[in-house]
Structure 1
Amino acid sequence: MAAAVVRSLGSLSRNLREVRVHLCQSSAASKGARDFVEQNYVALKTVNPDFPFLIRECSGVQARLWARYDFGQERSVAVDNMTADQVAKALQTLAQSKP
């Protein structure tokens, strides 16, 4: 399911300037975010090779997706306790929305 969402994203750079994923390397709450990155990072970078898709790991941090748009505007969504599919859908929502 997440792979289908990633394919549907196409070019992330249409609306976004940067995506950051904040996650904990070991917490159960960040498992879905870790799984999303492990399963989809290569596909996202293949489709969007020059797009900044950043992974930030920190012990004990809340799993969160950050999207940066034009003029430095940012939006974020918490992805704690989500599955990889739910994280992919959250990214899709951020990519399709306007700041």
Structure 2
Amino acid sequence: MAWRGQIAKHVKELRILFCQTSPTSSNTRSFVEKNYKELKTLNPKLPILIRECSRTEPQLWARYDMGVEKCIHLGGKTEEQISKALEDLVKSGAGLKS
């Protein structure tokens, strides 16, 4: 999982949106609880914004250079799938720079 330490090289900002109570957001909440500290430690200057709002569908947003943004909807995904979605967004950012 070396890619986790490279997030800030390819992504300017991460936003994770979810509901505090809905079952649809439970895996996203768990992912944030288990992974936020490591992600922030490995990428201390990367803004990682956590947005909790009632009845919000879980989503992962990445902002890249030139204001380009991509979103992945996380409803129904496991924590492993959420991690894979984050990895895909990071790799997508690496492709935008070439």
TM-score normalised per structure 2: 0.90
Would you say how many aligned residue pairs link Structure 1 and Structure 2?
94
Structure 2 residues without counterparts, runs of 5 or longer: none
How many Å separate the matches in 1 of 2:76 and 2:25?
6
Equivalent in 19, 22, 34 of residue 14 of structure 2: 19
Structure 1 residues without counterparts, runs of 5 or longer: none
Give 1:78-97 correspondences, 5 Å limit.
78-97=73-92
- The answer on whether the counterparts of 1:21 and 1:56 sit within 8 Å (CA) in structure 2 is yes
- For the pair 1:37 / 2:35, whether they are aligned, the reply is no
Q: For residue 51 of structure 1, what is the aligned residue in structure 2?
A: 46
Equivalent in 54, 62, 65 of residue 70 of structure 1: 65
How many Å separate the matches in 1 of 2:62 and 2:14?
5
Task: Answer 1 or 2: which has greater helix percent.
Answer: 2
Shift of 1:20: 0.2
Q: Secondary structure at the match of 2:71?
A: strand
How many Å separate the matches in 1 of 2:6 and 2:45?
10
- The answer on whether the counterparts of 1:22 and 1:62 sit within 8 Å (CA) in structure 2 is yes
